[in-house]
Amino acid sequence: MGKPHVLINICFVDPERRHEGVGNRMLRWGLNKADEMNLETWVESSQNGRDFYKANGFLHVEDEILDPVVAESDGPKLADVKEIWYKKRLLLFMIDIMKRPTRENDD
């Protein structure tokens, strides 16, 4: 991602409004902007969103496991909380790094 691109960031739909086309309308707006600028579009998707983005022309690039880090300056109490959550596997989750090529090429 060293070249100019569009990043779709923190895009989700309230569960009560899913399957009404809201997500498609939001994404289409962003993709139209990317197309106007002739830029690739990238997204960090949850596994639940993978099929949605694939259906909209995104390609899987890589998986990444997120594990928040607690800095020493955050203090021992926060570190203790992280340890408890880590043991219960509450902090680790996988995201899919995906991209949609520009409309001019399909690389």
Domains belonging to the chain, first-starting first, are 5-68+94-100 (3.40.630.30)
Q: What share of the chain is helix, strand, coil (3-state, %, to 5)?
A: 40, 25, 35
Mean pLDDT of 54-74: 75
Spatial distance between the Cα atoms of 31 and 33, rounded to a whole number of angstroms? 5
Residue, of 88 and 27, whose pLDDT is higher: 27
Spatial distance between the Cα atoms of 37 and 24, rounded to a whole number of angstroms? 20
Which structure tokens are listed for 40? Answer: 């690739």
Q: Which amino acid is located at 43 in the chain? A: V
Task: Please tell me the predicted confidence (pLDDT) of residue 12.
Answer: 78
Mean pLDDT of 19-27: 92
Please report the beta strands in 34-82, taking only residues with DSSP state E, as ranges in sequence order.
Answer: 40-46, 59-66
Task: Please tell me the predicted confidence (pLDDT) of residue 107.
Answer: 47
| pTM of full prediction above 0.75 | no
Task: Please tell me the predicted confidence (pLDDT) of residue 93.
Answer: 64
Spatial distance between the Cα atoms of 49 and 92, rounded to a whole number of angstroms? 17
